[in-house]
Amino acid sequence: MKGKHILFAAAGIAVLLCAGCKGEEGNSSSVGNAPESFLKEVFTTDFEERYTEFQKDNDTEKYYNTFSDYASKACIEAMSGDRMPLKYDKKADEESAQTTVSEVKCEVNEDGEGEFEVFLSYENDEAKKEKATGQITVIQEDGKEKVDSFFLSNIVEVK
């Protein structure tokens, strides 16, 4: 079966890492630009040809540095250690099961902890929709809001 186990485990791993938005005065807030952008990058297969470029030189450091605008150093190290989402980009490529993010919802409290939902669409089956959910932690690093960790509550599989 095409893409049976692919995507998302990518969603799962993506969630393990990061995304966030900062709340004000104890209230929840909607996702800011950094967490939403991070989740879109993680859950979109071969985002901006990151996997295509990786195939040219197998440079994992270069591959994971593409997340540096929205993910903390610790988040990137965790993703790299789990080979996330690299292994899912590879599987999606092998199975021709490309996904894109159609919507992201994220709420984070004043402590930088929260939950997210990512709605996925498949390029080869427009009727198929999936939802990945999880928890995230957001911090300030180098003067910017960045995802420090994330955990996927459910793993979406391509069928």
pLDDT for residue 159: 45
Segment among 9-13, 31-35, 129-133, 154-158 with least mean pLDDT: 9-13
pLDDT at 65: 94
Angle at 86 between CA 82 and CA 132, to 5 degrees: 80
- CA-CA distance, 76 to 72, in Å (whole number)? 6
Task: Give the HSE-up count for residue 89: Cα atoms under 13 Å, Cβ half-sphere.
Answer: 24
Task: Taking each helix axis as running N to C, give the angle between helix 86-95 and helix 10-17, from 0 to 180 degrees, rounded to the nearest 10.
Answer: 160
pLDDT at 32: 54
**Four-CA torsion 48, 121, 79, 106, nearest 10 degrees:** 110
Cis peptide before 35 (omega within 30 of 0): no
* pLDDT-based confidence at residue 156 (cuts at 50, 70, 90): low
Task: Grade residue 16 by pLDDT with cuts at 50, 70 and 90.
Answer: very low
**81 Cβ contact partners less than 8 Å away, ≥ 6 residues apart:** none
State the pLDDT at residue 18.
Answer: 36
